[in-house]
Structure 1
């Protein structure tokens, strides 16, 4: 593969999630990204209102199946957003 092609692929999948095979592996990959994100410098990407909406949607999704790995991850992310928002 040429350098240009690998750069293009990296831009299309900057978080390395394209190779996952199933929901469990996807949930584990996302959980690793959450842990990585805790160590990275914080940058504001959303307004306070947008962050609140995202937290609400993640919380609602998490309640659909509380035992699912993806739903548990959604609950964790919602909780972190609420905490940062001071809610």
Structure 2
């Protein structure tokens, strides 16, 4: 499964390294993509071992609040509405 986290702020390099460390430690997470300068993180995971909610909670506990999607599924980050 794939989950995309929309963070409240863009990551710097230490922040990207930090969130990679915490999300990769979750059992069932297969891959994490987090780049400095971006405010989103892409996570590939096994839905039998973890959930998108657990990923969001871990990111928030690691110091990276996740922006919750609005009704309709659009977070508005792309400027599309």
Q: TM-score, normalised by structure 2?
A: 0.26
> Larger strand proportion, structure 1 or 2?
2
Higher relative contact order (CA 8 A, sep 6+): 2
Larger radius of gyration: 1
What is the TM-score of this pair, normalised by structure 1? Answer: 0.25
